[in-house]
Structure 1
Amino acid sequence: MTVLLAATALPCGLVIGLLLGALGGGGSILAVPALVYLMGQSPHGATAGALVVVAVGAVGGLLCHARAGRVRWVAGTTFGALGTAGSYLGSRWSATLNADVLMAAFSGLMLVVAAGMLWRGGAGLRRSRGGTEARTAAVGSVEPVPLVSQGEHAAPEGASIPEVRAGSPNSPSRAPSWPRRARTGPDPTRRARPLRTVVTASSVGLLTGFFGVGGGFVVVPALTLVLGLEMPVAVGTSLLVILINSAAALATRAGTGSLDWPLLATLAACAAVGSQLGNRLAGRLRPQTLTASFAVLVTVLALAMAAATLPDL
């Protein structure tokens, strides 16, 4: 690895890590275009090398979620193991494609990711607005009524207090409303569907092996819909699935070509540092702003990649 490559890998790794830490996923999709267009790697080598960055990022995030108790080890290991076959096939399939075809397909994937990020950001904004309107309506339901004189403690004439409505949050007969503890296990009302689980897990593994990305934007909804996990637990468990699929895909690609391990190690280490900085940055910026900015960046890169590769097909 030359000094120029190392100097390029440092900021790229930090940016990828910042996005991973601030958004909780998605930043690894930038590893492939960074390796191809900034560090001179071949498309096939870049999709294989990106798996190293994905795996390192998954390990760091997995440890944090595990300490918080948001990882279901049995469910995640089972789902990831079921996806190893798809990961193997995806890796083999990717290796047989023309480089331009592979990059054109990757640009299409980036557009899908950008659209998903924008939709998720818009859904979060709608939920926050709905919560604000509900709180405003609750406050506006309190009405003043005159006080009744009670001897020496009577209130001045014309004074008023808020009326306490039955069933309102201020009602003495109403029990305190404590925050409910989040359900962290599978939904007991959801029936297990083995065939659906196998197909979904294999599809996730195929995506990871083919494009060299973690696929968290697919894994999290899959764990939520198929296994019935709550969102925070699905996010933590998805990192275990991503780690298993990435390791399987990387093992499949190990003998298909040479990887620049010093370059990849530098990129992954910088991504790990950037991820810690991104975690701190996430608390200071609005999530909608981060998501929209990332979606715009991914869209621009996808269009540039498509413009560069489609004419050569």
Structure 2
Amino acid sequence: MSAVILALLAGAVVGLSLGALGGGGSVLAVPALIYLLGFTPVAATTAGLVIVGVTSATALSAHARDGHVRWRTGLLFAAAGIGPALLGGALAGRLPAPVLTAAFAVVAAAASARMLRPRRRTESTAPVRPGRAAAAGAGLGALTGVLGVGGGFLAVPALVDVLGLRMRAAVGTSLLVITVNSLAALAMRAGTADGLDGAVMGPFAGAAILGAWDGRRLSARLSGRTLQRAFAFALLAVAGFMLVDAVVR
């Protein structure tokens, strides 16, 4: 199967995840870029930021029109992560590939376990606590910078559990967080952009953008919990594969 076809298929899956769940794009894109398209771990994490950043920004507009974006909360959350994302992006290029792969797998496994836990269904009416939002945003920004993930698969649980948003609002708001964090992390990764293949990234990003629109429609038909559980099991399988690969290298 040609690289372009693989990129289109992988991009469609990434877009569906982002559109339906507000996250999971990078955590699926990075393994696809490494194992299907032959990118190095460093190049894959950089390419993942580009693809997911563009896709998230596109999907954000649709969720905003539906009224599912909490702008003040999202900007406060994202702003706290900009500094850590910049530092993490500078650190990422210095880590050995097996370490980067293993760290990615561990975070993905932890996120999948977190997503399988039952959550509160009510939205808090209390004002967002700046300290809690800043702490959660800073931790997410650091992971974004080091691992090349937009952070939506961690942002959505944080927005629901820590800040009390409903699932659909958390999905839309997470796209804002992903876009900001991806741009910040990319600012420190200019030196890792040389190994990126535009002939693969273009179709990948295009399919992801189209998939995100379908994902948004899918989220309106299925419950957020059903989508979350399906994604969590897929994420757990990816994490296990990557961890084994990192250990045997």
TM-score > 0.5 by shorter chain? yes
Counterpart of 2:201, as a letter, is L
Find the aligned partners of 1:282 and 1:69 in 2 and give their Cα distance.
14
Q: 1:95 aligns with which of 78, 93, 96?
A: 93
Q: 2:35 aligns with which of 34, 37, 40?
A: 37
Q: Which residue of 2 aligns with 1:268?
A: 205
Q: 1:4 aligns with which of 2, 5, 16?
A: 2
Q: Which residue of 1 aligns with 2:45?
A: 47
SS of 1:83 mapped into structure 2: helix
Preserved CA contact (<8 Å) 1:55 1:242: yes
Shift of 1:243: 0.8
Cα-Cα RMSD: 2.7
Q: Structure 1: which 5+ runs fail to align?
A: 128-181
Q: Structure 2: which 5+ runs fail to align?
A: none
The structure where helix makes up a greater share of residues is: 2
| TM-score with structure 2 setting the length | 0.86
**After superposition, where does 1:144-183 map in structure 2 within 5 Å?**
none
Find the aligned partners of 1:280 and 1:201 in 2 and give their Cα distance.
28
Q: 1:244 aligns with which of 157, 180, 196?
A: 180
Q: Which residue of 1 aligns with 2:242?
A: 305
Counterpart of 1:72, as a letter, is R
| TM-score with structure 1 setting the length | 0.70
Q: Which residue of 2 aligns with 1:134?
A: none
- Call closer, same or farther: CA 1:84–1:282 in 2, change over 3 Å: closer
Q: Which residue of 2 aligns with 1:18?
A: 16
Preserved CA contact (<8 Å) 2:41 2:101: yes
Q: 1:198 aligns with which of 134, 145, 159?
A: 134
Q: Which residue of 2 aligns with 1:73?
A: 71
Q: 1:118 aligns with which of 116, 119, 134?
A: 116
Preserved CA contact (<8 Å) 1:20 1:28: no
Q: Which residue of 1 aligns with 2:216?
A: 279
Shift of 1:238: 2.2
Find the aligned partners of 1:58 and 1:113 in 2 and give their Cα distance.
19
SS of 2:117 mapped into structure 1: helix
Larger Cα Rg: Structure 1 or Structure 2?
A: 1
Shift of 1:29: 1.1
Find the aligned partners of 1:257 and 1:11 in 2 and give their Cα distance.
23
